[in-house]
Amino acid sequence: MDGTADGFLSRVARELVPRADELIADVTRCLRAELPELWQDAELARMTSENITEHVVGVLTGLGRGADPGALEPPPSDVDRARRLARRGTPVTVMLRAHRLGEGVILDGFLAELPRLTDDPELVDAVSRRLLAMATGYVDRASERGVLAFQEERDRRLQWRLSLVNDAGLRIGTTLDITRTTQELADLAAEHFADLVTVDLLDAMLRGHDTPTTEPFLLRRLARGTRPDGGATEPAAPAARPVPAEVRARVHSCPDGSPEARALATGRSSRHTRGTRSWLVVPLSARGTTLGVARFSRYRDPYDDEDLLLAQEIAAKAAVAVDNACRYTHARATALTLQRSLLPHRTAEQSAVEVACRYLPAGARAGVGGDWYDVIPLSGARVALVVGDVVGHGIHAAATMGRLRTAVRTLADLDLPPDELLTHLDDVVIRLGAEGTADPDREGRGDIGASCLYAVYDPVAGRCCLARAGHVLPTVLNRDGTAALLDLPAGPPLGLGGLPFEAVEAELPEGSLLALYTDGLIAAHGPDVDEGLASLREALARPADSLEDTCDTVLDALLPTDRPRDDVALLLARTHTLGDGQVAVWDLEPDPAAVGPARGDVARQLTAWGLEELGFAAGLVVSELVTNAVRYGRPPIRLRLIRTGPRDGPGRPDGQGHVDGGAGRGLLCEVSDAGGATPHLRRARTYDEGGRGLLLVARLAARWGTRHARQGKTVWAELDESEPAAPLPDLAAAL
């Protein structure tokens, strides 16, 4: 019976072979009606049609040749198609149902053919049972192999997806640069699952403003990427390159109702297919804020829901990295703005030194720090040169730097020696640290560490007095071209308290170049500090047209890039001396009769200097200062005049790009004595015989003050020819 049934089944198959196209068409119509998802695009439809043809032709051919019906095997390509369905995200139930529907159509074709070939009911019944058993076994074998291949591919894709998401966490956000972070997202996606990727961020977010909630959304395209091999890119689509700077600076808007606009408004992703092109639109959101939108496009291989889920997972990681980069960029910009606002915008007018200054913020994640420099004019044509470094980075370090710089300027106005000034500055740092510790809102910011180098250069003596608090040693380039470190006692860093500072005097002849800097300059050259110092000395010794060029040469030689690992402050000062032609000195007797001759000496000296227009004011000022020294001071008494004025050549730019026009022509009048009493300005009452002298000096002078030395004091007044003395009636009214 079985043999006869198998033989008859083989005959039926041979009869159906010429009509195989009809069976294929019947199966195709059935699957199109019942499983439209298998025909949703041309590629999937082609794959389904090939699958139907191979199954129908394989079964008819095998049975027609007399093969054992129970041993018929599905075509080998069936396993590969199952894997391809899994890669496309087609549910396994669709594949299984397609097998069952196809089985039903083929069985109907065989059963309809039996009555035409025989009228033996027993044979028809036997062949029918044999046919059902064969079809069931065949479909079971095909389904089992397909499900196994399908699941293997799904597991592989799941592992691939997990690996890709993990890879995204490693490859996206390697820096805190916004543009690079978005380009890392575009490159990763284009490498693995997209033909074209674009990343747009909201312009308001890039500017540090709140994200807009109403259309139109203004965007900037920061990144674009394409598949490296270009194999799946649509022929008409040009290869994408990193977005040029001019394009990143351009603002564009999303059309109303576009997928990008909906994604930005709702925060929801979407999947789209049009012809052979498929694309995903995924918003970039982090911490409840939408930052922008990413678009992933692919050709001839449409995206499915699993691809959308993968894109969302990668975009979520990228959004956190972008948000971190934005927060860092905004915080760094704020700190840098604060830092630059607290640094001097232009070097102060003075004649003692020519200066060039630079400040470079750190390029690493630490960001801007607390490095600073300053140039402070002092009495006696002297100048204070300051460089300091606050430990730490960010806004707190910049704000602390500003407070210390203000404290240094205030202490400098008292004309304190460098070691005493650092002692008072140390107290300031200790108080600031105590305030931070007591403030619960500033947890972890109580301890403040800082270093400072304070130098006072006297152009009359050609000497410089320096003291340092834990700061790096300064370097001096002599006129013969040799450079060396100035040997200074280290001194403790600021904020320790209770430890002394020591000042050292060094002779700096005309034309000497003094370099003050923070440790970020020499540390940027490498871990070997000695190597950095050697490079600094070599760079200082190179010929240059100006001090500004020397500044640039030093930075180029010691900094590997324009974004050092630590912030850098550099202050270069080329010394000038005031010789006999600009300084006049007289020793006076402690006698009121010395006032008249002193006034005459001053008048003659001003005539020699061409400053006759200052003669009236200078005579009055000298008379009052000498009279006070004779009355209240102690001998010896000395009168000194210093002529100040611009040097030849144009003004000098400072470290911020401003140009210093130079000091105006003027005169410094100084009277020194060995007494310690400090004169005070007060308004005399109507019948007082004294008390009007210093008030007169204050009216005549642009600035005046008192500075103390180890022994004695000096009262000084600065006159400027650009501010002539007030007429006598006005002076009398003021007094």
Q: Which pLDDT score is estimated for 527?
A: 66
Residue 279 pLDDT level (bands cut at 50, 70, 90)? very high
Long-range contacts, stretch 549-556, CB < 8 angstroms, 24+ apart: 550/356, 550/513, 551/356, 551/357, 551/358, 551/655, 554/515, 554/521, 555/358, 555/360, 555/521
Query: Amino acid identity of 442?
Result: R
Q: Is the pLDDT of residue 357 over 60?
A: yes
Q: Which pLDDT score is estimated for 242?
A: 66
Q: Is the pLDDT of residue 723 over 70?
A: no
Q: Is the pLDDT of residue 283 over 60?
A: yes
Minimum mean pLDDT among 219-223, 278-282, 419-423, 433-437: which range? 433-437
Q: Is the pLDDT of residue 237 over 50?
A: no
Highest mean pLDDT among 268-272, 543-547, 589-593, 678-682: 268-272
Q: Is the pLDDT of residue 318 over 60?
A: yes
Is the alpha carbon torsion for 12, 14, 19, 25 positive or negative? positive
Residue 233 pLDDT level (bands cut at 50, 70, 90)? very low
The mean per-residue pLDDT over the stretch 586-599 comes to 91
The mean per-residue pLDDT over the stretch 547-566 comes to 83
The mean per-residue pLDDT over the stretch 652-662 comes to 38
Q: Which pLDDT score is estimated for 475?
A: 94
The mean per-residue pLDDT over the stretch 422-449 comes to 75
Q: Please count the residues of the chain.
A: 735
Percentage of the residues of the chain whose pLDDT score is greater than 90? 37
Highest mean pLDDT among 3-12, 108-117, 390-399, 645-654: 108-117
Residue 725 pLDDT level (bands cut at 50, 70, 90)? low
The mean per-residue pLDDT over the stretch 591-614 comes to 91
Query: Amino acid identity of 214?
Result: T
- Higher-confidence position of 239 and 700: 700
Distances (CA, A) of 587 to 538, 578, 591, 601: 46, 19, 12, 11
The mean per-residue pLDDT over the stretch 596-619 comes to 91
Tell me whether strands 666-673 and 713-720 are parallel, antiparallel or unpaired. antiparallel
Taking all residues of the chain, what is their mean pLDDT, rounded to a whole number? Answer: 83
Q: Which pLDDT score is estimated for 514?
A: 95
Q: Is the pLDDT of residue 408 over 80?
A: yes
- DSSP result, 175-228: SS-HHHHHHHHHHHHHHHT-SEEEEEEEHHHHTTPPPP-SSSPEEEEEEEEE-S
- Report the distance separating Cα 136 and Cα 131, nearest Å: 8
Q: Which pLDDT score is estimated for 473?
A: 93
Q: Is the pLDDT of residue 325 over 60?
A: yes
Query: Amino acid identity of 215?
Result: E
Global pTM reads 0.66
Distances (CA, A) of 579 to 455, 463, 509, 576, 584: 21, 13, 11, 10, 9
- CA R_g for the chain: 45
The answer to whether 39 and 148 have CB atoms below 8 angstroms apart is no
- Report the distance separating Cα 316 and Cα 309, nearest Å: 11
Q: Which pLDDT score is estimated for 664?
A: 54
What are 479-510's pLDDT values in tens digits? 888 889 998 998 899 988 878 899 999 999 99
The mean per-residue pLDDT over the stretch 82-109 comes to 87
Q: Is the pLDDT of residue 734 over 50?
A: no
